[in-house]
Amino acid sequence: MRYELRQYGQLIAAVVAATRGNVKAKKFVKYHQNAMGQGRSDWRLLADALDCILAGERDENALCGSLDKTGIQAEIIRTILSGIENPRTVKTLLES
């Protein structure tokens, strides 16, 4: 799963940065959310969860409630929440 997460490392890092007020990161996230909105329902649900994170939600159960708990989307949410708590955890995803 860690390898799969690396594919989303930039998005995860951008969400974490956006929660800290980085406007450029928030634009990056919004761009990707728009693309997710065009995809399968699980990706649309992730886009919705990202909106909730950007609005301040930090409860994993609330954020992952509609997602497959074992799927990549839920793991992305968990990794973002971990990154909000400790941004260094996201850094490893960005390393090759």
| pLDDT tens digits in sequence order for the chain, 96 residues long | 667 888 999 999 999 999 999 999 999 999 999 999 888 888 999 999 999 999 999 999 999 998 988 899 999 999 999 999 998 888 877 775
Q: What is the residue extent of each domain of the chain?
A: 2-90
pLDDT at 1: 60
For the entire predicted model, the pTM comes to 0.92
**Whole-number Cα distances in Å, 93 to 3, 44, 59, 96:** 9, 23, 22, 8
The residue type at 71: G
**85 phi and psi, to 5 degrees?**
-70, -40
